[in-house]
Structure 1
Amino acid sequence: MSNKIDRRKQYTKMVLKDGLIQLLKEKPISSVTVKELCELADVNRSTFYSHYKDPYDLLDKMGEEIVVDMTATLNSYNFKKEEEVLQMTEKILEYVATKSEICQVLLSEHGETAFKRRVMKLTQQIIMEKWLDDYHLRGKLSDYIPLLILSGSIEVIKNWLGNGRQESTAEMASLIHHFTNYGLTGFRS
């Protein structure tokens, strides 16, 4: 009996997430109502409220799932080895590609900026701190370097998703990795 209830809860959460994604393709989170989300997902309002406080709470939990998965992926690599950093970047992009619809919405102007901030904070904690130390870039401007690299990388990923992922994850990982390590000078022909 418990297994049946768990499956029902999982299904309910899935249809609510799918419904929110569909609505966020059309309008910002601030315009999404519980009523329209429940109608789209074919779920009672009381059922919605048994899982979430409001659409923002649902969106936040969706973003948190992505961050937890990304954290596990990032923590499984050794950032002292350059080839592992490239592999990690490719794995993150493969993950993002499998979750492209939700990632695209979370990174869009219709989503919440909290997701982008969480991804940047996570990446800075796990990767950038080590990178700054390795390249001896601590100092007055060191707070700006991760911001520049991470903001640019997130925008590249956002555009890649928006353009239908025409380039492979390996190509995108190489581009991000190369720019992060060598800047624009690494792209001269």
Structure 2
Amino acid sequence: MSQKESKKLDRRTRYTRMAIRDALYELLKDKHLKKITVKEICAKADINRATFYRNYMDIYDLYEKMEAELTESIFADGNLEADRYKLLTIIYENQNFYKEFFSSHLESRYIKATVAAMYEQKKDLIKTRGTYDEHTFQISYQYNYYGVIGVIKEWLLAGCPDSPKDFGDIIYGIVEKQYK
């Protein structure tokens, strides 16, 4: 295959994947992920099932890859302070997607990685003060993690009434106070 043919195929593949993702995103406005079928996605994207399965194993694979595309770039620089605001912005800009994400109890490797990095950062901070107890810290951090996830979910279900920056300032301010 020539380089020109390869680029054309890549362009066609990118277009097809974009059509599939757009179809799923549209369907998520009215239905939960578990109620959406590959047949519906194919009809909306104007492709056949073989094309869908050439690109994705199933709907959940598609969903996971969409989440990766949304979040991968925001965590690239490793700046935890900025990353949490970027994450809230991504959620704000993709509300239908993330409503389904939280209602289906799907997990994000990016959110987990950010939380793990924040966990280590807070642990190191507390250790320097000489008041560190591993067991208490783990429970405290889990409490904060699940609390923040719950508050983000409620913010999202309410239609994100606060801007990502304002909302982030509130929730991260609450969490930060506990580790000062």
Partner residue of 1:132 out of 123, 130, 143: 123
Q: 1:120, 1:150 within 8 Å by CA — same for their partners in 2?
A: no
Q: 1:124, 1:146 within 8 Å by CA — same for their partners in 2?
A: no
Task: Quote the sequence identity (%).
Answer: 31
Task: Please list every run of 5 or more consecutive structure 1 residues that lacks an aligned counterpart in the other structure.
Answer: 80-84, 184-189
Q: Tell me how many residue pairs correspond in the alignment.
A: 170
* Distance in 1 (alpha carbons) for counterparts of 2:139 and 2:46: 46
Q: Which residue of 1 aligns with 2:57?
A: 53
Q: Which residue of 2 aligns with 1:82?
A: none
Q: TM-score, normalised on structure 2? A: 0.79
* Distance in 2 (alpha carbons) for counterparts of 1:92 and 1:114: 14
Q: TM-score, normalised on structure 1? A: 0.75
Q: Which residue of 2 aligns with 1:22?
A: 26
SS in 2 for 1:155: helix
Structure possessing the higher radius of gyration over alpha carbons: 2
* Distance in 2 (alpha carbons) for counterparts of 1:149 and 1:119: 17
Report Cα offsets for 1:66-100 as digits up to 9, x if no partner.
Answer: 34234215x0x2x6xxxxx3x44333322333333
Q: 2:70, 2:90 within 8 Å by CA — same for their partners in 1?
A: no
Aligned-pair RMSD on alpha carbons? 2.4
Instruction: Write out aligned runs for 1:34-113 (5 A).
Output: 34-73=38-77, 75=78, 77=79, 85=81, 87-107=82-102, 109=103, 111-113=104-106
How far is the alpha carbon of 1:54 from its aligned partner?
A: 1.0
Q: Which residue of 2 aligns with 1:123?
A: 114
Q: 1:21, 1:105 within 8 Å by CA — same for their partners in 2?
A: no
Report Cα offsets for 1:75-132 as digits up to 9, x if no partner.
Answer: 0x2x6xxxxx3x443333223333333233322x2x45233xx344212221122112
* Distance in 2 (alpha carbons) for counterparts of 1:138 and 1:19: 49
Task: Please list every run of 5 or more consecutive structure 2 residues that lacks an aligned counterpart in the other structure.
Answer: none
* Distance in 2 (alpha carbons) for counterparts of 1:168 and 1:121: 23
Residue type matched to 2:9 in 1?
A: I
Residue type matched to 2:106 in 1?
A: T
